Amino acid sequence: MLVFWKEKLVILAVPKTGTTAIADALGERADILINDPPELKHAPLYRYNRFFRPMFEKACKEENMETMAMMREPVSWLSSWYKYRTRDFLVGRPVSTRGISFDDFVLEYCKDKRKPFANIGSQAKFLEPRPNGTKVNYLFRYEDQKSVLGFLEERLETKIALPKSNVSPDLKLDLSPDVKAELRRTRAEEFELYESLL
């Protein structure tokens, strides 16, 4: 999470959407940069609404902070998680995907109760508006980097050069049609939200 006080902007760090590169590029420019622990770095909108928004409004007397986030195409997002969890440092741990096919990983993700290696949350849940009206004000497709960078450069009045950060192993992954259909059926909200971002 990055907070730009003068510009009244909070960048929510949806996992696997390039926010580490944004933090590397803009961290020194931010007024608040949260890199650890992951529960705060990747605070979803409901956690922002519960903890950070009240702090900004009550302690800091600022009620006009806006939020920005990116969402990745759901299959691409899952492939990034899968690749990340094949890394050597995770081998032998319950979250490792080493030795598990991408189809099996996605099928496990489709379940309500998942094994640890596929327990990675939900972009739709991360970004879900709150009953009090708190929502992500600017939500972009991760794949539309031109719009993301254009928005940030205009809002922050600075040029941005994104470094390559936290890059997953280069694996060729194909999802079988049956598994993709199951993913679309069981996680329709992910696709509906992504496809609404034009």
- pLDDT tens over the chain, length 198 residues: 999 999 999 999 999 999 999 999 999 999 999 998 988 999 999 999 999 999 988 877 777 899 999 999 999 999 999 999 999 999 999 999 999 999 999 999 999 999 999 999 999 999 999 999 999 999 999 999 999 999 999 999 999 988 776 666 677 788 999 999 999 999 999 999 999 997
* Nearest residue to 107 via CA among 16, 17, 175: 175
Cα 134 to Cα 48: distance, rounded to the nearest angstrom: 9
Q: Is this prediction's pTM over 0.95?
A: no
pLDDT at 93: 96
